[in-house]
């Protein structure tokens, strides 16, 4: 009976733990990144406010820091026409399909103490992640059609 209980507890712990791929992703994302490029799926000029914060111009070349052991981070916007400064956030990476390597990424802006003022988060797809590059995609609707915003990062 005691052995059966140990086996059941072991199975529960293994099944509840994150996958090796997800743990590797958390390790790779750790550190400092630069948002180098933002692209749209459709040609044209769009007035997009990203993460309910700033324009594409303000976000390009912003610096990002990810601390996966407590799922926190910070990004810094600079620019003469931008509301410059540090922004804090919490994030989670949820595995969608280990075979394709696609993940859901949830980013929620917070104050310096890690508290969300609006309790609003942004669901993104983490479509690429390597030791040197990362890509997020967010799909929104424009005139009833899907519109994809791609955000490309390089590791510092």
CATH number for the domain spanning 135: value is: 2.40.128.280
Q: What is the pLDDT of residue 116?
A: 86
Q: Does 66 map to a domain?
A: yes
Q: What is the pLDDT of residue 3?
A: 46
Contact 74, 86 (CB under 8 A): yes
For 129, the domain range is: 20-155
Helix (H, G, I), strand (E, B) or coil at 46: coil
Using the predicted structure, report yes or no on whether residue 11 has a pLDDT greater than 50.
no
Q: Does 96 map to a domain?
A: yes
What CA–CA distance (Å, rounded) separates 84 from 53? Answer: 11
Q: Does 10 map to a domain?
A: no
Helix (H, G, I), strand (E, B) or coil at 59: helix
- Of 70, 28, 27, the closest CA to residue 155 belongs to 28
Q: Does 149 map to a domain?
A: yes
Residues in the chain, overall count: 156
Q: Does 144 map to a domain?
A: yes
Number of domains in the chain: 1
Q: What is the pLDDT of residue 97?
A: 67
> Among residues of the chain, what percentage have pLDDT more than 70?
80
Contact 93, 25 (CB under 8 A): yes
């Amino acid at each position: 009976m005691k052995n059966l209980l140990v086996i059941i507890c072991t199975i529960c712990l293994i099944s509840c733990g994150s996958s090796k791929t997800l743990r590797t992703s958390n390790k790779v994302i750790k550190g400092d990144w630069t948002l180098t490029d933002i692209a749209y799926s459709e040609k044209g000029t769009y007035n997009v406010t990203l993460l309910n914060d700033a324009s594409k111009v303000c976000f390009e070349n912003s610096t990002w820091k990810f601390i996966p052991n407590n799922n926190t981070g910070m990004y810094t916007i600079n620019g003469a026409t931008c509301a410059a400064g540090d922004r804090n956030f919490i994030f989670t990476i949820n595995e969608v399909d280990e075979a394709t390597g696609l993940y859901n990424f949830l980013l929620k802006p917070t104050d310096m103490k890690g508290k969300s003022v609006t309790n609003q988060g942004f669901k993104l797809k983490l479509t690429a992640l390597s030791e040197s590059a990362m890509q997020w995609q967010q799909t929104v609707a424009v005139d009833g059609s899907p519109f994809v915003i791609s955000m490309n990062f390089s590791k510092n």
